[in-house]
Amino acid sequence: MEGRLITELHGNIFRCSDYKIQSHFPRLECQRGGTLVLDRDITTHTSFILVKRADKTYGYIFYENQVYIYGELKLIKYKPEIDMRHVKNRD
């Protein structure tokens, strides 16, 4: 996971900076004051929980192979052309 890039539905590109693994949901990660958003990596189509904190830092939580993988994200850049909120209807 370390060094992995995540491109999420709102056009943000993040880099995973570290990770931890545990068998139960990482409650401490969520109790640091923030909002949990169900999101998706548009490159790998993997669902994950994006943790948006009040201090403008980000975290992630994946559930894979019956374990939770979680850690910090660093915002690399924003690409408005892939932001699903701004994509025009093609019909």
Residue 64: pLDDT over 80: yes
Neighbours of 84 (CB within 10 A): 11
Q: Can you point out the beta strands (E) in 1-91?
A: 5-7, 12-16, 20-22, 34-41, 46-53, 58-64, 67-78
Neighbours of 3 (CB within 10 A): 8
The pTM score is 0.79
Residue 39: pLDDT over 70: yes
Whole-angstrom Cα distance, residue 15 to residue 6?
6
- pLDDT for 2: 60
What six digits make up the tokens of 10?
Answer: 């709102």
Q: Where are the domains of the chain?
A: 5-79
pLDDT (mean) for 74-88: 85
Q: What is the pLDDT of residues 14-26, one digit of tens each?
A: 999 888 999 998 8
Q: Which residues pair with 69 in a beta bridge?
A: 21, 62
